Amino acid sequence: MITIGRRPPPAHDVIAALLECHERIRRFLAMAEVLGARADLSGDQVHDAARDLERYFSAAFLRHAEDEDLRLFPVLRARGANLEPLLLTLGQHHQTLDLQVGSLLERWRRLITEPGALPELQPSLVQLGAPFAKLLLEHLVLEEAELFPVARSTLRPEDHQAIKAAMDRARGLAAR
């Protein structure tokens, strides 16, 4: 791809890191859909999928929303980016998604210890998972279409560095 007149991304590219998270979110949503739909999974497959889903959506998924709410949005506001009411909407999505994922986590936790309960739980996995996946996928598309392009043109190299360092600290990684 030829890009003209664009600066190369900084070494600590915050938007690239957030986009990587979006791809992970999409992969885990697909896994959640499989768990809600398939009737031919072995007990081990159910256990492993429930364990991976619980692990991801109880930790890394929440860190991602925090990266945006606490580490990216304040810098964009401070830099005067013209992003209201988008930031408000995205923050509200994060709160709604946080509430919705709680009920799914409860069911995945049960499946870790009791994979045989899958047929019983599948209707509620679908009922709870469908609106969660719908809002989350719309949310990712909205961020990619309207937030990230403006963030890319707004953030200065030192912002990328500071936000990325804060993201690493939140994950217990030493700042590089």
Q: In 10 A of CB 26, how many CB atoms?
A: 14
- How many Å apart are CA 156 and CA 172, to the nearest integer? 24
- Residue 105 or 137: which CB sits closer to Fe ion? 137
- How many Å apart are CA 101 and CA 168, to the nearest integer? 24
Kindly state the smallest distance separating residue 129's Cβ from Fe ion, in Å: 18
Kindly state the smallest distance separating residue 103's Cβ from Fe ion, in Å: 20
- Residue 46 or 57: which CB sits closer to Fe ion? 57
Residues that bind Fe ion (CB under 5 A): 68, 143
CA angle 120, 123, 129 (to 5 degrees): 125
SS3 content of the chain, % helix, strand, coil (to 5): 80, 0, 20
Contact 29, 35 (CB under 8 A): no
Q: What would the two tokens of residue 115 be?
A: 């994979």
Kindly state the smallest distance separating residue 94's Cβ from Fe ion, in Å: 6
- Residue 117 or 166: which CB sits closer to Fe ion? 166
Kindly state the smallest distance separating residue 123's Cβ from Fe ion, in Å: 28
- Residue 68 or 159: which CB sits closer to Fe ion? 68
